[in-house]
Amino acid sequence: MIEDLEELVLCESFSSDLAAVARSAEVVAAMGARYLDARPEFLVIDGVTHLRWTFGTPKVLLLGHHDTVWPIGTLATHPWSVVDGVARGPGVFDMKAGLVQTFHALAGLDSLDGVALLITGDEEVGSVTSARLIEETAREMTAAFVMEASADGGALKTSRKGTSLYTVQVHGKAAHAGLEPEKGANAGIELAHQILAIAAIGAGATTVTPTVLSGGSTLNTVPASASVGVDVRVAEVAEQTRVDAAIRALEPVVPGTRLEILGGPNRPPLEGAMSASLYALAQELAKGLGIGPLTSASVGGASDGNFTAGVG
């Protein structure tokens, strides 16, 4: 397994380098073929290479990704190594070790009938081309397991916050800041009002965070435009709906300005109740195999991965 992990890590796969992602897909496909005795489908969508294995009539989906956040050349500064039982290198944790574990686990089954394995190439940049592919593949499944790393102590991740991403754009009117500022509509001042209103939408476990700010053109001009990015994290679907409505209900304060709301919900949350029955089954099976008890964890961030979920 360590040798396999080294092979994957040494093939860098920065998400934004489509040629590197394609090379990585070839390496992952070859490794999978060795263990599963089958080549995958190569699904190239807008230049991004995804892989899918299908055995019989699938009812269980295993989901992963082979792209990483690390730019090409990172191996020069973060080389592959195994020291004191710890492997290091770009993509080791997220999630090339998960791919290796997946191949070895599947190779140990008596039959792969009923299993689908989907490995995407753009998870780290928001699954722009793979989101629909994931949905379509998962739609007929009874269960889905994302094969990213576990939480501390090997805990299965049974719930995870969802994300919404927005840009709130303020449109104002430019004017000379010294000669006739009263003829302008200051988008910067309006943005200040909106940042405070946006931050106040968060409550409890829901976080609504203004992030990237921009505005104005020159030092002596009343800003005609300004914007703020907003990162939203929610533990419940109802909260995602509430926050979306609240952001879209924002109203301008400064006369002569108007707001434009871009974006919306990006990924829904995985609520604990959604995975409860599947986790109970995992506990039962683990006990029968003498490897329990399993532990679970709720994860505060959000991504495609890191959970065990019932989807059917």
pLDDT tens digit sequence for 198-207:
999 999 999 9
The confidence score (pLDDT) of residue 311 equals 33
Residue type, 242: R
Cis ω on the peptide bond leading into residue 293 (within 30° of 0)? yes
Domain count, the chain: 2
In a domain, 64, yes or no: yes
**One domain, residues 177 and 251:** yes
Q: Are 72 and 17 in contact (CB under 8 A)?
A: yes
The confidence score (pLDDT) of residue 301 equals 56
**One domain, residues 69 and 92:** yes
Q: Interhelix angle for 2-9 vs 97-107, to 10°?
A: 140
**One domain, residues 108 and 55:** yes
Give the Cα separation of 124 and 142 in Å (integer): 26
**One domain, residues 98 and 199:** no
Q: Are 102 and 11 in contact (CB under 8 A)?
A: no
The confidence score (pLDDT) of residue 309 equals 38
Below-50 pLDDT ranges, the chain: 302-312
**One domain, residues 190 and 62:** no
In a domain, 285, yes or no: no
In a domain, 304, yes or no: no
The confidence score (pLDDT) of residue 304 equals 41
Give the Cα separation of 119 and 198 in Å (integer): 36
Residue 6 CA from chain centroid, whole number? 24
Given 149, 176, 203, the domain boundary residue is 149
Per the listing, tokens 């994931």 go with 134
Domain range for 87 is 1-149
The confidence score (pLDDT) of residue 300 equals 64
**One domain, residues 174 and 140:** no
The confidence score (pLDDT) of residue 124 equals 94
Tokens standing for residue 160 = 């995870």
The confidence score (pLDDT) of residue 126 equals 85
Distance linking the first and last C-alpha atoms of the chain = 32
**One domain, residues 129 and 80:** yes
Burial class (CB in 10 A: 0-12, 13-18, 19+), 171: middle
Best CA proximity match to 220, nearest among 171, 170, 174: 174
With the CA atoms of 40, 41, 47 and 49 taken in that order, what torsion angle do they form, in degrees rounded to the nearest 10?
A: -20
Predicted TM-score (pTM) of the model is 0.81
**One domain, residues 15 and 143:** yes
**One domain, residues 139 and 254:** no
CA-to-CA separations, 119 to 7, 14, 250, in angstroms, rounded: 17, 15, 39
Best CA proximity match to 66, nearest among 108, 105, 116, 9: 9
With the CA atoms of 86, 91, 95 and 100 taken in that order, what torsion angle do they form, in degrees rounded to the nearest 10?
A: -70
**One domain, residues 111 and 241:** no
**One domain, residues 2 and 71:** yes
**One domain, residues 37 and 124:** yes
In a domain, 300, yes or no: no
